[in-house]
Structure 1
Amino acid sequence: MSKPIPLSRHQGLDAIKLESPDGASATVLLHGGHVLSWVPAGGVEQFYVSPDSAFALGQPVRGGVPVIFPQFSARGPLQRHGFARSKPWQLVMAEQGADDALAVLRLTDDAATRMVWPHAFELELSLRVSGRSLQIELACENKGEQAFDFSTALHSYFAINDLDEASVQGLAGLHYWDAVAAVEKQQRVELLLPTGDLDRIYHQVKEPLLLREQGISTERRLQIQHQGFDDAVVWNPGAEKCAALADVPDADYRKFLCIEAATIEHPIRLQAGESWVGRQDLTLL
């Protein structure tokens, strides 16, 4: 029998901490629908959140899993990465089941969003945590009478011990937009070793990706699989750009790697009444 999970507070903001019976947990803020934490059963924290991040209404949080909607980066007239990550979301439900914990949050248009993006919409963010897995699902419905286009991403910051120990598998053969060099390229080798300023949008990602971290005596393998999203972003600011970020310590670029389920190259078009669903499944192997 399921039991409801009450609201709690995190850094002064309303939050839901999901805890499954097996000990797995995840924390999501109502501010931004922002996933802050994921600890698999028997494991450790998988997401990076900057110690210098602002936890303030109207401001995005640096780290975890921000929801990017309806614009990616500066690819359009809106503020960078859109407005969903800095808006208050509503809690629809949160409960612990027999073998998992679930939460659903909702964001709808209001007068402020319509001033910058004149469309009626409803977003639902659903989380399920159990065992060694976390599922994050984002759904969008066009509630208006006119079609609209949007781009979106689950901007996941994965915590790592050291950037030099990290690699990403599953990208071989894919074409990508290299935002640093401003040119389209192809991934030739199976293993991507993050170095320096890394900002890539990989297109038509069909197979699961694998984040590997190989230390002297430890190995971590995190499988990243998505459905409904066409692209995957791999991002790390490198030393120089990280030093220019006000909300990240200068050396912390070595402590995270972003691997994002996204749809950017070909924005999603929804006619009146239509819906779209995308999902990111994370599994610690």
Structure 2
Amino acid sequence: MNCQTLLIDEAPAVRLQGPAGDTVTVLLRGAQVISWVDASGTERLYCSPKSPLKGPQAVRGGVPVIFPQFSERGPLMRHGWARMRDWTLLPMEAAAPEPRMSLQLHNAVEADPLWPHACVCTLTVSLLPEGLRLALAVQNTGSTALTFHAALHTYFAVGDVTQTVLGGVLPHGAALTLQDPIDQVFETVAGPLQLRSPRGALHLTHKGFRDVVVWNPGPDAVLGDLPAGGWRDFVCVEPAAVAQPVALAPGTGWEGVTVISYNRDLSTPDR
């Protein structure tokens, strides 16, 4: 396992390399994955070249951690504060079965008067054979119950979103075409999902997360941190806990996990 700390455009980051040459790069700010290059050298995530990694705004691309609020569904800043704060890299586990790293964020009761709860968030990023695993854990370390939304807002590099389809979110096996702008929460989706694009096919599974959010702004949206035509290069498919917030009593925890796999026969269902 090869792990190095580095600066990318003045932003502190950590890069983990697997035995097959695959790499995953994570910013300390927000514990945001900004790159996942598979063993063939293919970049699987999209990160906007117009979005500064050092901030102060949130980075457009990769996998932002959405917590404790999704979008504007509450009084906090859009998508919550977890993606804006600095996380701490935990010591590496030498005996881990796969190359992985964990980053942690401690929130104090007084950190935000609009969300006065103590908790610890941990994001664990693992390189699997022909895949990537992301696990977000939340522990209520305070004395009061808390509720939250959570999502891993994954920007997949697809080459051309208008030639991309997503299976697994619509009933009766129908495929979702992505030729039009979309911003939709699909509630209670068990998965797995199949994402087919000009960049290849991906198999997506999740647990802990009940919902799936799909987003692409389309050609008419004007976003200052997205280049002209950049909308075509990605689609966001994110495992989420949105429709029904997660509730944690003091001393309890929750975990949401997603696994992204490639080089897999998508015609064969999971057993």
Task: Please report the TM-score for the alignment, with normalisation by the length of structure 2.
Answer: 0.92
Kept in 2: contact 1:58–1:87 (CA 8 A): no
Distance in 1, matches of 2:74 and 2:216, equals: 22
Residue of 79, 82, 88 corresponding to 2:80: 82
Q: What does residue 281 of structure 1 align with?
A: 259
1:194 paired with 2:178, answer yes
Q: Residue 240 of structure 1 aligns to a residue in which SS?
A: coil
Kept in 1: contact 2:188–2:210 (CA 8 A): yes
Q: What does residue 176 of structure 1 align with?
A: none
Kept in 2: contact 1:30–1:88 (CA 8 A): yes
Q: What does residue 215 of structure 2 align with?
A: 235
Range 72-81 or range 10-19, more displaced: 10-19
Equivalent pairs, count: 263
Kept in 2: contact 1:26–1:37 (CA 8 A): yes
Residue of 232, 250, 268 corresponding to 2:246: 268
Q: Residue 151 of structure 1 aligns to a residue in which SS?
A: strand
Q: Residue 14 of structure 1 aligns to a residue in which SS?
A: strand
Q: Which runs of 5+ in 2 are unaligned?
A: 264-271
Range 81-90 or range 192-201, more displaced: 192-201
- Which amino acid letter does the alignment assign opposite residue 179 of structure 2? T
1:255 paired with 2:253, answer no
Residue of 48, 52, 60 corresponding to 1:54: 52
Q: 1:257 to 1:112 in 2, by over 3 A?
A: farther
Q: Which runs of 5+ in 1 are unaligned?
A: 174-187
Distance in 2, matches of 1:108 and 1:80, equals: 20
Q: 1:66 to 1:145 in 2, by over 3 A?
A: same
Q: Residue 55 of structure 1 aligns to a residue in which SS?
A: coil
- Which amino acid letter does the alignment assign opposite residue 85 of structure 1? R
Distance in 2, matches of 1:278 and 1:114, equals: 24
Deviations 1:177-231 (A, max 9, x none): xxxxxxxxxxx761111123201101111121010014xxxx7110111010000
1:221 paired with 2:201, answer yes
Matches within 5 A, 1:122-133: 122-133=120-131
Q: What does residue 179 of structure 1 align with?
A: none
Deviations 1:64-113 (A, max 9, x none): 00000000000000010000001000010346779732100000114773
Which 4+ residue blocks in structure 1 deviate beyond 4 angstroms? 95-99
Matches within 5 A, 1:85-96: 85-94=83-92
